[in-house]
Structure 1
Amino acid sequence: MSTAQHDSYDVVIVGGAIYGSAVAWWLTNTPGFQGRVLVVERDPSYEFASTSHTNSCIRQQFSAPVNIRVSQFGAEFIKDFRNFLGGDPEVPELVLQSFGYMYLADTPEFAATLKEAQGIQAALGAGTRHMSRAEIAAAYPFYNLDDIIAGNHNLIDEGYFDGGTMFDWFKRMARRRGVEYIHDEVVAMTLNSAGTAVDSVTLKSGRRIACGIVVNASGPRAAATAAMAGLALPVVPRRRYTFIFDAAHPLERDLPLTIDPSGVHMRSDGKYYMVGCPPDEDADVAYDDFGFDHGIWENKVWPALAHRVPAFEQVKVINQWVGHYAYNKLDQNAILGRHGKVANFVFVNGFSGHGLQQAPAIGRGIAELIAYGSYRSLDLSPFDYARVEQGEKFFEKNVI
């Protein structure tokens, strides 16, 4: 454990992974905000954090305009990373490997959904193409497309980037600018007598810290953090599997991040390839349950690979892991903003696998909400927590 330097902070952030650090850094970069910020992280190794298990991809292929705009800013941020972080030459440049996402449709209904989404994306400036089977075959002859009708693909600002480096520098620069990070755990919260604000958080070390605002950035553990303030949040941990494999017959060009109708997704990963999927029974799991289903490769992943890309008939797994999605059971989209009654409790939760790519825009937005009381750069109100209380779903068709 480490010790906080003060007994009171303007902002206490619960969780120091990608969202805790994105919000912390953006607060230091928000004109007019001069408050003290404390980030409380229970595991500074981040061994089991979703951030450490990310596939580090970004796409504009959503159906909801706000999700598209969030990712467009994410791409801008990645491509100009050093300048956004102040121009320090020590900050590395990030590269966005724009091999794109390839959504494959095997039914007329899904093909129509893709075509509709492409129109929305194109209207907002995205480079998505709706492609016939023949067009896909001409561009990527390594696919088996016997069961495919159409697809969507975008080669502009969509693909892979080094999310670990982005997270590392959010944290480094936040600390350089005065944000405190401590190795401890928030175990309780004390509300005022009216139940309208969190007055303080209690740490596992026994310390009680007064706070102006509490930010819930605790990933798959978000519901447990919200419950400390008596608040409900439909966010649970769910397993997601990732495999890195070598191919005996590598492809002659990059493999786009291919969303297969089987539920398996695959892409190039340097000289290797990455593939991932959810389990067939996508159940909620315990926060510390990272048990690995060793049959999922043989029963689900490899058959889908070999079917879609026949060159992958002979492959060798060289690494594998299971991580947790912070899965929003209401609608699989972000839950943001202040609680309606406990007004100093701020949610940054439930990204359901979209988190890393959305961190630049949403970190900025939450910092604006804290500093100014409203979003200024991009209106993120469609993600507001109020929809949880009202049972109103955020509508997004393109969820992986």
Structure 2
Amino acid sequence: MVSKVVIVGGGVIGSAIAYFLRASDATVEVTVLERDPTYARASSALSAASIRQQFSTALSVQMSLYGIEFLRTIGERLAVEGNTPSIDLHEGGYLFLATPASEAILSENHALQTSLGAQIEYLPREALQAKFPWLHTGDLVAGTHGLSGEGWFDGYGLVQALRKKAQALGARFLATDATGVVRSGRRVQQVRTAAGDTLACDVMVNAAGPWARPIAQMLGIELPVFARRRSVFNVSSPAQLAACPLVVDPSGVYFRPEGKTYICGTSPSADHDPDDLPLDEVDYALFDDVIWPTLAHRVPQFEALRIEHAWSGYYEYNVLDQNAIIGYHPELENCVFANGFSGHGLQQGPATGRGVAELILHGRYESLDLSPLGFARVLEGRPLVERNVV
């Protein structure tokens, strides 16, 4: 029987796990170690905070279908003493665009998504041009557009709402970091903290986001998850784009409205994407060389752009297959990993929190089987490849 759980990392994943544990079983003592309660450098607060069902793997689609259900009902789920949280959810949809080279993948993904219940429409070029007349479609053949269940929200607000609800349910959050473990054979017995505490545990959870790798190394485990910097740019433009969704260009450049402005970004090329770059160094060259020319090509009105603000956050990037690693490690009986979400953590946080809580409390997944994301595929070199990484 599990009575004490220590979670390392109090971002969206760690806070969601804490919430679901306490909501499911109030007898379990839950302690969350979060070294920065301001979340100033947390991926949860620095990301573009979006949710979509347009993935290429069934499990990712299913996780985000539950994610949107959770976000839509966050007010009733996470209210504390009559105070109802709001995350300003805007279901503006995603629009993935395809050239002839990527049309087959777009079509395959669309068939998978709709078979699982996602409301995604397939738009041939003529329909795409009619629906989004501001879009340059000359080099496109089609696009897929989310009619509901996709959009963007306040990521920082979600983390705070999960944290406050977990605390209201009895979870304890400590502003410190894990510095070591006491391990006996196949079990972790205690977690040591930078504050000098030694916390006994029946289960330890690694939910440390971009900093999960050194936590795993304390356990003698090699985790293929690295901190990869992603820069986000807030730009102003005289462009008037009616009913603008979050648009993903075939190049990987994305943009979406943010009030009267727009935010945009892209992943750098593999040879310009090292680990652990400092967050205070925004990649302006990426904007000048890649993002702006792409935006101006795809939306001619974007030839006139001005950066208003820019920042960087980390992806906890799983180099094996850009999918999360969730579950117990075969060599450790009582250590759960929830890492490597590669930019999908906010939207997959609710499903992960629910699933990990079920695994800890019941020894199995009961709502949605997350076992394909388990550690076994890492050890066997068997990637579960996600083709729609944004």
Please indicate the TM-score interval, normalised by the length of the shorter structure: over 0.9
The equivalent of 1:3 in structure 2 is none
Q: Secondary structure at 1:72's aligned position in 2?
A: helix
| 1:214 match | 204
What is the CA deviation profile of residues 327-382 of structure 1, one whole-angstrom value per residue up to 9, with x for unaligned ones?
00000001000111211110010000011001111111111111111111111111
Structure 1 contact 196–341 (Cα < 8 Å) conserved: yes
The one of 59, 68, 73 aligned to 2:66:
73
Identity among equivalent pairs (%): 40
Which one of the candidate residues 11, 17, 35 is aligned to 1:23? Answer: 17
Q: How does 1:187-266 map to 2 (within 5 A)?
A: 187-192=179-184, 195-251=185-241, 253-266=242-255
Q: What are the within-5 Å matches in structure 2 for residues 174-185 of structure 1? A: 174-185=166-177
- The separation in 2 between residues aligned to 1:359 and 1:206, in whole angstroms, is 30
**C-alpha RMSD of matched pairs (Å):** 1.7
Residue 353 of structure 2 is aligned to residue 363 of structure 1: yes
Q: 1:350 to 1:327 in 2, by over 3 A?
A: same
CA–CA distance in structure 1, aligned partners of residues 219 and 31 of structure 2: 18
Kept after mapping to 1: 8 A contact 2:123/2:142: yes
Q: Do the aligned partners of residues 355 and 341 (structure 1) sit closer, same or farther apart at CA in structure 2, a change above 3 Å counting?
A: same
**Residue of structure 2 equivalent to 1:12:** 6
Q: How does 1:250-289 map to 2 (within 5 A)?
A: 250-251=240-241, 253-280=242-269, 281-286=271-276, 288=278
2:119 aligned to which of 110, 124, 127: 127
**TM-score of the aligned structures, taking structure 2 as reference length:** 0.95
State the alpha-carbon separation in 2 of the partners of residues 200 and 343 from structure 1: 14
CA displacement, residues 46-103 of structure 1 (integer Å, 9 cap, x when unaligned)? 1111111111110011121111111111111111112223685411344532221111
**Alignment deviations for residues 221-257 of structure 1 (CA, whole Å, 9 cap, x no partner):** 1111111010111000111110111112332x13211
8 Å Cα contact 1:9-1:209 kept in structure 2: no
CA distance in 1, matches of 2:116, 2:3: 40
* Structure 1 consecutive aligned stretches of length 4 or more whose deviation exceeds 6 Å: none
**Is it true that 1:165 corresponds to 2:157 in the alignment?**
yes
Are the aligned partners of 2:98 and 2:141 in contact in 1 as well (CA < 8 Å)? yes
**Counterpart Cα distance in 1 of 2:237 and 2:61:** 33
**How does 1:329-344 map onto structure 2 within 5 Å?**
329-344=319-334
**One-letter amino acid of the counterpart of residue 255, structure 2:** M
Which amino acid in the other structure matches residue 241 of structure 1? S
Q: SS of the residue aligned with 2:317? A: strand
- In the alignment, is residue 298 of structure 1 matched against residue 288 of structure 2? yes
* Equivalent of 2:307 in 306, 317, 331: 317
Letter matched to residue 75 of structure 2: R
Q: Partners of 1:355 and 1:237 in 2: how far apart?
A: 13
Tell me the SS of whatever aligns to 2:352: helix
Matched with 2:54 is 61
Counterpart contact for 1:239–1:282, Cα < 8 Å: no
| AA aligned opposite 2:112 | I
Alpha carbons of 1:94 and 1:296: their partners in 2 closer, same or farther (altered >3 Å)? closer
Question: For 1:327, which of 300, 310, 317 is the aligned residue?
Answer: 317
Deviation (angstroms), 1:396:
2.5
Aligned to 1:105: 98
Q: What CA distance in whole angstroms lies between the structure 2 residues aligned with 1:9 and 1:202?
A: 18
Distance 1:288 1:247 in 2: 29
What letter matches 2:11 in structure 1? A
Q: Distance in 2 between matches of 1:297 and 1:290?
A: 16
* TM-score normalised by length of structure 1: 0.93
Question: 1-side partners of 2:182 and 2:57: how far apart?
Answer: 37
- 2:9 and 2:3 mapped to 1: Cα distance? 15
Deviations 1:241-297 (A, max 9, x none): 10111112332x132111112221101112111101122334232275542223222
CA contact (8 A) 1:23 1:367 kept: yes
Separation (CA, whole Å) in 2 of partners of 1:49 and 1:164: 9
Q: Do the aligned residues in 2 keep the contact of 1:9 with 1:210 (CA within 8 Å)?
A: no
What is the alpha-carbon distance in structure 2 between the residues aligned to residue 380 and residue 285 of structure 1? 27
1-side partners of 2:161 and 2:80: how far apart? 12
Is the CA contact 1:82–1:89 (under 8 Å) kept in the aligned structure 2?
no
1:103 counterpart letter in structure 2: F
Q: 1:127, 1:155 within 8 Å by CA — same for their partners in 2?
A: yes
Distance 2:349 2:149 in 1: 16
Find 1:48's aligned residue among 41, 56, 72. Answer: 41
How far apart are the structure 2 equivalents of 1:387 and 1:34? 33
Question: Which residue does 1:4 correspond to in 2?
Answer: none
Any conservation in 2 of the 1:41–1:185 contact (CA below 8 Å)?
A: yes
CA distance in 2, matches of 1:262, 1:397: 13
2:229 and 2:277 in contact (8 A); partners too:
no
